[in-house]
Chain A
């Protein structure tokens, strides 16, 4: 059945030994232990421990990030030293592709929750359909509308209304983030953010064209603009959150509308931050290190795929969270 291959085979580089995995493990486990302790201190109350929890979390995170830095540095060095065969490079491509696929599925869970609540749960709580019988028993007087301003708990005015779900300050549809409620289109921040992010995807593509043509200046310029647009997006989103909390009374506690709004846009914003950081590192690699050639620039390519993925998620967010 088998014999040795006769055709030339470029050896697949298998690193001999590595401390990276163990260091990354230590950092990660300390981080999650610290983060869980911080949250428990916050909710179940033991302020005395908070300092130590924060210390564990911070040290763990710093160690984790330092390990990641070292890990990427090692792989970049290996590539520059010519140890990566074409086959190994394909493994990296596959790895990045399936990683992005897993990220898509993560967002899928939150979009699924949004659709389920808007299409089924809301009407049921308001007494419609087969799930509607509970309305008369538990939530009499609740009417469903989206954005959900008055939660079921507020509708029945139960004793826990101040504690559970919506502190009462999120009062009117005109203060939600929906397009229909904006006073004027040019004051509507999500529209500007959409323009910014779509443009940045385009400039990222221009940067890619630049490096493919071997034009480093063009690459650096367009990549720099992309990073700046990413930062602008985050600033606008930060301002939007500030407005929501300070002026609209729209918070994480404001019932299911606030829950889905902040979780979807918040995780997206976090991914924008990660993608921007990735692109920034590629920019530094090019500007400071002079790395990347027309044929070998996978670090940038992978980051750009991530950036386009973040962009596509935003399009869906814009449609389902802000417009519809």
Chain B
């Protein structure tokens, strides 16, 4: 056991063998940022090809590999691990625990990620190229017509699932078992609540994804007929199993973002979060509903009308708890003494743009209308408003908000605000026009398009390049802060911030709360 009060070990061993939740959180965050850059680079290739109609830069087959890998890497490599990193850093500090409940498994959950993504990315150089069936890898594109890379892809998904399940079990055990005395469930910070529910969703649906890719594996290599109508199966079965995972997955990505925003908006409004209890219940309702809406991704596959209607109404129901959340955030700001530091700007950006993404989601939920929108750029615009302006904006906000706590140095506010405004403007130039081309019928995942879409696509590409470049500024700001930012030592870095993590010294010591605090 030894002496717990010394600092981290020296050298590479510190990171390879660590059991410390802060080290592991840091590794998750850096890994996810590097995946964000890689996935972003693929996006730039996509946008460069779509800059003009016709084929300029890449072959259609390679374009398909780019859209596929961009989606897979952003979802599984960038967004999900970034929030797990945040959970690792913050949950023990927020609930007054000495570390995560199962520290060695925590390290394992992280370290299986980098080699797996290396394996996945290396399929680009394999014969036949990387998987090209889209990030949703529908059968039979991903089975009958797939190359050898699909096998590596399937096993990669298995390992990613293993990582997520272990990480989630750790979070559930930590939250249920390690709260400081007096920290009742209904006193937990909302970030902890949203992660508890997210972790439950992950444990529930990652095994279903594992089942889906296992069926693919068997179809490809062992002659089963799960996704082949010729043998009595059904390709649509794949879509059902995939989206039973896939829709909760959407909330797995966005619920921790809700948690982040629910921490930051009160801090810069200098008010308590409005409607804490209703926030918790709304989060739980969203999680429950996420299990019964999956087929709204499949309105056009030829479901019976009863199915279309059920999934349409169930999907619309989600607007109710989501609306509760949006109104609570707005009401928290109402008559608050607001200030607009970078984290707050990103949260307000989140609030506005996520709401737009939510509304387009409602439009897509209307089954008869979705027949028109399905697989067009309208869908692309919709989910980028939720994934980028939702999850990634809140992640940026979180980094600016907690980075001073973590490293004891303040970021450059001017640079932060510049990052926000360039991101905000670049993002909207990139994705707002996609609503229009989508409504006019431009299909997604196609490297070429009709001439009528040329202007909007050029705008979209320029916006995407602006947004991409602004992330370099973000990276520079973060590194500059860690290396040479202005030191801060006040435990409460932000005067309006509340919670246990703001009661410990700044920068946060290597070990915190070895003896739990008493929460009143």
Contact = CB atoms under 8 A, between A and B. Distances in A.
A258 B19 contact: no
Interface in A74-132: 83, 87-88, 90-92, 94-95, 98-99, 101-103, 105-106, 108-110, 112-113, 116-117, 121-122, 124-125, 129-131
A48 to B, nearest CB: 15
B231 A152 contact: yes
Chain B residues touching A, majority SS: helix
Contacts of A33: 119, 152, 155
B473 interface: no
A259 interface: yes
A28 B230 contact: no
A25 B112 contact: yes
B232 A91 contact: no
B204 interface: yes
Contacts of B1: 13, 16, 83
B233 A12 contact: no
A286 interface: no
B231 A42 contact: no
Contacts of B112: 25, 28-29
A9 B102 CA distance: 19
Given A4-B517, A12-B98, A17-B9, A256 B103 contact: no
Contacts of B180: 5
Contacts, number: 257
Contact of A112 (B154, B244, B511, B515): B244
B251 to A, nearest CB: 16
A164 interface: yes
B376 interface: no
A131 B229 CA distance: 12
Given A22-B17, A263-B224, A2 B108 contact: no
Chain A residues touching B, majority SS: helix
Interface string A249-266: 001110111111011000
A152 B228 CA distance: 10
A4 B515 contact: yes
A66 interface: no
Contacts of B55: none
B444 interface: no
Contact of A160 (B107, B206, B230): B230
Nearest to A126: B232
Contacts of A12: 97-99, 178
Contacts of A158: 230
Nearest to A122: B232
Contact of B151 (A13, A36, A103, A122): A36
A321 interface: no
B173 A98 contact: yes
Contacts of B17: 17-19, 21-22
Nearest to A166: B231
Interface string B308-336: 00000000000000000000000000000
Contacts of B96: 2
A98 B169 contact: yes
Given A9-B515, A22-B16, A138-B229, A98 B206 contact: no
Contact of A43 (B204, B221, B232, B244): B221
A323 interface: no
Contact of A255 (B158, B177, B225): B225
A106 B207 contact: yes
Given A98-B172, A109-B208, A117-B237, 4 more contacts: A2-B517, A21-B111, A105-B204, A108-B211
Interface of B: 1-2, 4, 9, 13, 16-20, 96-99, 101-105, 107-108, 111-112, 115-116, 119, 147-148, 151-152, 154-156, 158-159, 165, 168-170, 172-174, 176-178, 180-181, 203-208, 210-212, 214-215, 217-218, 220-226, 228-234, 236-237, 240-241, 244, 302, 304-305, 500, 503, 511, 514-520
Closest 10 interchain pairs by CB? A165-B231, A109-B211, A256-B232, A259-B224, A153-B230, A21-B108, A106-B207, A2-B517, A91-B101, A253-B223
